[in-house]
Structure 1
Amino acid sequence: MTVDDTLVDVLAGHRRAGRGDRPALVDQRRSVTYAELEREVTARVRELRSAGVGAGTRTGVVLTASLDSVVDFAAATSLHASLLVLQDRAGAAERSAALADFGAELSLDASGAARLRPPGSGPHEPAFAVTSSGTSGRPKVICREWSGTLHNSAVFARGLGIEADDVVLTTSPLGHSYAIEAGTLAVLSAGACQVVPSGLLTPARAAALVARHRPSVLQSVPLVLDWWGRSGVPRVCSWQRCVSAGEVLPAQAVAAWHDADIAVYDHYGNSELGQLTLHPAGGGGSVGQPLPGVELKAGGDGPGPVLARFPGLSPVRMEEGRAVPLADDQGWVATGDLGVLDDHGLRLTGRSDLVINIGGNKVSPLEVENVLRTLPGVDDCVVVGRPGPSGENQVWAFVEAEAAGFDAAVLRRRAGELLMTVKVPSVIRRLDRLPRTGSGKIRRGLLMEEEI
């Protein structure tokens, strides 16, 4: 595979290598081999070309848990379109805003291709764009080069050791960059098979799906790893490894998988550049060393801004059809995270925009969360800064826990034994469930602003 390959090229390469009869994708209705997927994508290329999709055409595509939408995605990228991936769970207003920011000319979904505006007058390069997770505020549209994106996904596949015999179960919706890049693109680059489930997979549904398809690799998020782990899913089949991303991976989420002798990898990536690090879980809080080709900068003796760059990627933010560069003149992109980089890899310490200022003292929510998760009865938690009665900034903790036996005062006292006084939450509130996005990421914005 070269950096200029399209997905049709990738599929054809596997067919020529004698892997045409191997399964490529499986959804809730059907499965296709690499040869069959190549034929479907080639046919769809002809249809989309007739609908006006061509080199650089700014096109939005709604990705669902179906092979048909993956075929649309593969065909549009194979026509060298500038493609924006949209989440099927996004509301109509959110989706319209993203299409407007991208300057989309066409939109693709299950009903077909819809013209949004006249074809652009200037030439556009082939590109890949995603929306941010939207945990607070209006989602951002991040756009970058297609060739660098495909190359980055292939690097991730090699780093995780995905091979042609692997069956990869991806639990996050395909409209999320993690699922389509570290999932679909990585799997197809390796010639493996991806299983795309529909809807929420309860442990019972997961066990049935796993028994049927016998996946060897699980690609998911901490919430699902923990939920399935406590429900016996690790022992349903012969898993080889799991990879988790999106949030901090707590030790409790890994325990059941390690007990079943299954390797669990922690992974760090972002919408701006894709996949950045990979590391076996339990590495002292590190998210690992940079993947080949990835360069990182962060703090040395203490936390500092995390910067990253990858060859062939110069991301921009799209605003009302205009591109706003995100990389500096040397290609470095600020991830928005804080961290320490040393011989053990990158250790994240929090978001630069979420650090809580308490009387001039900087409090990292991540540090406080890590301590609270060790306390009895705490299943999960989120720490944010919120104004107190007199307007002063306070540390608030929202704790996911059972109501029986919950005592906020006891938690505060125990936290005070492990944290500096300024870092101990002034307010601790219990929730049955923390608010999350469709991919399982906690919606901090709600907890920072709304009365919950």
Structure 2
Amino acid sequence: MIYDRLVAAAEQAPSTSGLRQGESFIPYRKVVDRSAHIASGLIARGVAKGTPVGLLMINGPELLTLAYALFAAGAVVVPLNAQAPRQELAATARKAHVAAVIASLPYAEVAEMLVADLAGPGRLPLFLSGGSDDNSVAALERYSIAGLPQLGPDDAALYMFSSGSTGIPKVVPHTHGEMDIDMQGAIETSRHQPDDIMINMMPGSHAMGFLSATHVAAAGASTLYWHDPQPFMLSKGRFANAIETEGVTILMGVPFMFDALAGLKDEVSFRRLRRAQSAGVALRKETYDRFLERFGIRLTQAYGSTECLSIAINDGDDPDVPWDSVGVPAPRLTFELEPAENPFGPECGEIVVSSPAITKGYLDAPEVNARTLRDGKFYTGDLGTQSKEGYVTIKGRSKLIIEVAGHKVDPFEIEEVLGTHPAVAEAVVVGIPDARTGEQKLKAVIVRAAEENPDALIRYCRERLASQKVPSIVEFRDEIPKSATGKILRGKLMEAV
């Protein structure tokens, strides 16, 4: 189904629409043709309908092309984080029951180690993008188009990972039907026009980066992929120059990115930019004001989750919409506020949604599903309000998840890793605001079982966790403050000692 939507979009899209990166341009008609050939090759090589296939790919045109090839073959796309520590990468792939891997050539060693960890060297199919041998994507592309399966709305299409509002990262399955409805909603709200160019600099395993490219393709608009080996703070000038010189019309990212761009000293003007949208983390008024003053462009916000896909989007040009609103609920989505204890007043409640685009449940997690998905409704764990005009504003979280640089981080996962260190008797992780940016950073509060220094504990975490999960502060205490019933008083741990 998803591949069929790309076929339909390619037939109607202008010849100038497609996937861009550097000097390369691939029109959607070529993406459709390559995807079909690669899909046929995958089927011939034993990748059956329903097979979860891990993608260890640099974000770019090849990632999206391979994703559509897997959609066409009836396989399940599983974007994986190639930068994750080896243990974490293997653990997440096992959760998704990954049975084959496709990797960019620079990630060949990572892919080989993953295959070895999952099943032993050479025991799982591994295809490399960029090679030329029999196990390369180029070899798959040489197959004639044949045997593509008929797919229905209930066929699995995508597995992504979320710590969301319910704990340690879980596999979030989405079907062809769920993704198709989400894409249709984006089209109906005219989120993208055929002459739009959206710049995409998010990691390929990030839900925002991956899903936004499928929305753009479904509308027949173009995606400009941007990648720089240097950290964003060192490459932001080149990124801004690409926005200007390539005629980018849509910019989507996390608040940190917009704050960095607002601080540019370079002479740059985003003259063609018609929409700049922030997502992933709540937008601060200071960032909104700085970006508006620097570029004369109002930042809007989008609200979604891996489980629900699009929930609400502020796409309008109405200047009367509050700056901190995430807009109105997405098409076909029922939005409710359920009473919940919170510090924001009785008009605020937990956001509960239902939609045909929402996942039917986490993979292999019946207990979590019973708590989070009830009577066809998803309990987001977010606190919010809704105005009489229908505009939604997010106020906070009703659960413990910490949002770090656009990622939702579960403190329990980090605490479990720290608890395996011989010098740690007890560990609690909390989020505290950075004094300069206001963004959340992680602090680990440790009761020591033996002498150890903070840097050693940070290194221990870095070897076992993704970068966004590594505490930047380690604080030692004699005891963890607890209530009379033994509940950890996390609020007290956010205070300096």
- Per the alignment, residue 81 of structure 1 pairs with 75
For 1:9-20, what aligned pairs fall within 5 Å after superposition? 9-17=4-12, 19=13
Change (3 A) 1:158 1:27: farther
- Per the alignment, residue 334 of structure 1 pairs with 379
* TM-score normalised by L of structure 1: 0.71
Task: Kindly provide the amino acid, as one letter, of the partner of residue 44 in structure 2.
Answer: S
Q: After superposition, give the CA deviation of every residue in 1:103-139 in whole Å (9 maximum; x if it has no partner).
A: 22222212589875699xxxx9323111126999753
Backbone CA RMSD of aligned residues: 4.0
Which stretch has the larger CA shift, 64-73 or 314-323?
Answer: 314-323
Secondary structure class of the residue paired with 2:62: helix
Question: By how many angstroms is 1:56 displaced?
Answer: 1.1
- Per the alignment, residue 296 of structure 1 pairs with 335
Q: Give the unaligned 5+ runs of structure 1.
A: 356-364, 367-383, 385-390, 403-436
d(CA) in 2 for partners of 1:331, 1:20 = 40
Whether the 8 Å CA contact 1:136–1:443 is kept in 2: the answer is no
Question: By how many angstroms is 1:180 displaced?
Answer: 1.2
Q: After superposition, give the CA deviation of every residue in 1:165-208 in whole Å (9 maximum; x if it has no partner).
A: 00001232221111111x11110011000011113443311133
Question: By how many angstroms is 1:313 displaced?
Answer: 3.2
- The counterpart of 2:91, out of the listed 87, 94, 97, is 97
For 1:246-265, what aligned pairs fall within 5 Å after superposition? 246-259=280-293, 260-265=295-300
| Alignment coverage as a number of residue pairs | 374
- Per the alignment, residue 131 of structure 2 pairs with none
Question: By how many angstroms is 1:156 displaced?
Answer: 2.9
- Per the alignment, residue 189 of structure 1 pairs with 218
Q: After superposition, give the CA deviation of every residue in 1:290-320 in whole Å (9 maximum; x if it has no partner).
A: 0111122224734322211211433322249
- Report the identity percentage: 18
Whether the 8 Å CA contact 1:136–1:444 is kept in 2: the answer is no
Which stretch has the larger CA shift, 251-260 or 100-109?
Answer: 251-260
Q: After superposition, give the CA deviation of every residue in 1:65-107 in whole Å (9 maximum; x if it has no partner).
A: 2322221111001112122221233232222111111122222
* TM-score normalised by L of structure 2: 0.65
d(CA) in 2 for partners of 1:442, 1:245 = 20
Which stretch has the larger CA shift, 239-248 or 128-137?
Answer: 128-137
d(CA) in 1 for partners of 2:433, 2:472 = 8
Question: By how many angstroms is 1:221 displaced?
Answer: 0.9
Task: Kindly provide the amino acid, as one letter, of the partner of residue 197 in structure 2.
Answer: V
Change (3 A) 1:104 1:203: closer
Task: Kindly provide the amino acid, as one letter, of the partner of residue 295 in structure 1.
Answer: T
- Per the alignment, residue 355 of structure 2 pairs with 310
- Per the alignment, residue 192 of structure 2 pairs with 162
For 1:392-403, what aligned pairs fall within 5 Å after superposition? 397-401=432-436
Change (3 A) 1:66 1:312: closer
- Per the alignment, residue 397 of structure 2 pairs with 351
Change (3 A) 1:328 1:353: closer
- Per the alignment, residue 454 of structure 2 pairs with none
Change (3 A) 1:446 1:133: farther
Secondary structure class of the residue paired with 1:272: coil
Question: By how many angstroms is 1:162 displaced?
Answer: 0.8
- Per the alignment, residue 206 of structure 1 pairs with 239
d(CA) in 2 for partners of 1:48, 1:323 = 34
Whether the 8 Å CA contact 1:267–1:288 is kept in 2: the answer is yes
Secondary structure class of the residue paired with 1:13: helix
Secondary structure class of the residue paired with 2:331: coil
Secondary structure class of the residue paired with 1:127: strand
Pair 1:62-2:88 in alignment? no
Task: Kindly provide the amino acid, as one letter, of the partner of residue 248 in structure 1.
Answer: A
